A = this chain, B = another copy of it.
Amino acid sequence: MSTEEPAPTIFDVADLASVSVSTVSRVINGRADVSAATRSRVEAAIGRLSFAPQVTAQRLAGRRSHTVAMLFPSAYAQHSNHDLDFVLGAAEATSGRDYLFNVASDPLDEPRMRALFRSRLVEGAILMQITAQDWRVELAAREQLPCVLIGRTDTEHPLSWVDFDFEGAAAAMVDHLVMTGHRSIGFVGRSHAMLDAGLGPATRLRRGHEQAVLRHGLELHHVASDLDPLAAGQAALHLVDSVDDLSAVVATHGPSALGMLRALRSRGLRVPEDVSVLTVATSRVAELSMPSLSGTDFPSAQLGFQAASVLVRQLDDRARGVAPRTEHILMPARLSVRETSAPLARS
């Protein structure tokens, strides 16, 4: 209907500047072997036509798609409240680095994942929700698909990963509690389902907690719960009921901890006067809470940022012919004492 003038091509620019397309191409790609005079002439032409090289063609000719994806487990969106920040962190890392960042929440299976790379839809991917045994990781390792994991497997592989030091986080919380006089500490770990699935956070938080408690010569009081706030609240109450003199509860997830606050309060227990609550949580959630949550901060945006950075670096390396080295980044746990914890006043 409308005039729909076709977008100018590199030929139009070449014509206007009275040079060949190869010269234009050189200018576009900032090559050095162009005389200053022609370069500025070409640039002028580009400007006048407001020409922009068609990315699709560049990619085809360059045999690179310049696209990375975050493969987002579709079912994941619901129960986890912090993980959206992964996305923004990753987007920020790719932004400006000349990579297209796309998030795919489609369900994934082996053929689909393979096709993703074979079709060159993506050059590299960020994998999340890694389990101890993970077919995606095995596939990526076997077929040399450039992937970076947020999380780890139990298996050996050459893939890079970034992860949060969950053991350290759990230990830090116990240490802090012990240092402030607590001796009877409960732990609401992640559900059996998650443990069985081999989800790293689940197992490593549990292990970290366990080891810390034993190291301090304390008794282990631990119960599993899924991430639902209500369930977590029930779990906390269960601990309160079954453990003598319980003075602190450790949680592994912000919303769960909030559920506990609610449950404890409904039982007439004050936090932190009667019970301290520590948890892993994004600072965002921790600070929104009232009282604000003590514990270790989960740096989700940074994890996404780092993962994307590693991935991009890797792809750049590979493109330049240098062998990409695998990187392992373990983000350290930092304790933040806010309002839900207090030293135990020995009576």
A residues whose Cβ falls under 8 Å from a Cβ of B:
1-2, 7, 50-57, 59-60, 65, 67, 72, 74, 77, 81, 84-85, 87-88, 91-92, 95-96, 100-106, 111, 114-115, 118-121, 144, 229, 254-255, 258, 261-262, 265, 284-285, 287-290, 323
Contact = CB atoms under 8 A, between A and B. Distances in A.
B101 A102 contact: yes
A164 to B, nearest CB: 19
Nearest to A121: B55
User: Which of A57, A81, A118 counts the most B-chain CB atoms under 10 A from its CB?
Assistant: A118
17 contacts: A1-B323, A2-B144, A50-B114, A52-B118, A53-B119, A81-B288, A84-B85, A87-B103, A91-B105, A95-B105, A95-B106, A100-B100, A100-B102, A103-B103, A254-B288, A258-B290, A265-B290
A96 B87 contact: no
Nearest to A104: B95
A258 B87 CA distance: 25
Contacts of A118: 7, 50-52
A53 B115 CA distance: 9
A221 B327 CA distance: 57
Contacts of A65: 55-56
Contacts of A56: 56, 59-60, 65, 120
B119 A52 contact: yes
A187 B67 CA distance: 46
A30 to B, nearest CB: 16
Given A84-B84, A92-B105, A290 B290 contact: yes
A215 to B, nearest CB: 33
A57 B288 CA distance: 48
A284 B87 CA distance: 18
A19 to B, nearest CB: 21
Contacts of A121: 55, 100
A101 to B, nearest CB: 6
Contacts of A119: 52-55
Nearest to A116: B52
Nearest to A254: B288
Q: Report the 3 A-B pairs with minimum CB-CB distance, sorted nearest first.
A: A84-B84, A102-B102, A52-B118
A103 to B, nearest CB: 5
